[in-house]
Structure 1
Amino acid sequence: MSDWFDVAPADGFPPGTFHTVDADGVAIAVFNVEGRYYAIEDMCSHEAETLSGGEVLGECIVCPRHGASFSLRTGEALGPPAYEPVATFPVRVEQGMVQVRDDRFD
């Protein structure tokens, strides 16, 4: 998949917030952390739980179910019970719109 998906207008996406989007069947969560956008697959690698409801601590997200933490920048699992990373995705702002794409299969 190489299409860019609209997430939200940049002027309506302030720091400390997130939005989710379905990109051809892939749930992606996009976070605005101090003006920088990060996109990860919205599914914990430990168990089937959405990450978007978790607490964001700097550039990390904590899974609300069991407390596993992941880097928003790299997707790396930073603490148990998760040991596998989550996918990350490129984000851009194009004509005032925050966009994301799944480039894993390009």
Structure 2
Amino acid sequence: MTLQLITACDKVTQDAPFAYEGQGKKIAIYRVDDEFFATDNVCPHAHALMSDGFVEGDTIECPLHGAVFNIRTGKCMGPPAESDLATYPVTVVENKIFLRL
């Protein structure tokens, strides 16, 4: 596994996750304060993109049915979803975001 360049840090804002699709994966990149996090971009409850969801602090709400997830851990915090989002470790080098895919 090698580091894959995803985007520049300034492309990810606190209220708008960045959607990445590549190498067979759909991933959402989030900014919480000055930290970056990555989860699957597809809600495990129904096919909706988390990057279209609503960010509040360190949570993301699915835009389709309102399931809530912790951005840092991927943990499901409310129905109707019953499973967590997969998370991916983020590496930041020279203001660029990288993931191991």
Task: Name the TM-score, length of structure 2 as normaliser.
Answer: 0.89
Aligned to 1:63: 62
Aligned to 1:88: 87
The amino acid that maps onto 1:69 is: V
Separation of aligned partners in 1, 2:13 and 2:46: 29
Contact 2:15 2:54 in 1 (8 A): no
The amino acid that maps onto 1:75 is: G
The amino acid that maps onto 2:2 is: D
Contact 1:38 1:91 in 2 (8 A): yes
Runs ≥4 in structure 1, deviation > 4 angstroms?
Answer: none
The amino acid that maps onto 1:61 is: I
Unaligned runs of 5+ in 2: none
Separation of aligned partners in 2, 1:16 and 1:55: 8
Aligned to 2:28: 29
Unaligned runs of 5+ in 1: none
Aligned to 1:48: 47
The two structures, once aligned, show a CA RMSD in angstroms of 1.5
- Matched length: 101
Distance apart, 1:92 and its partner CA:
1.1
**Residue aligned with 1:28, SS:** strand
Separation of aligned partners in 1, 2:37 and 2:7: 13
Task: Name the TM-score, length of structure 1 as normaliser.
Answer: 0.85
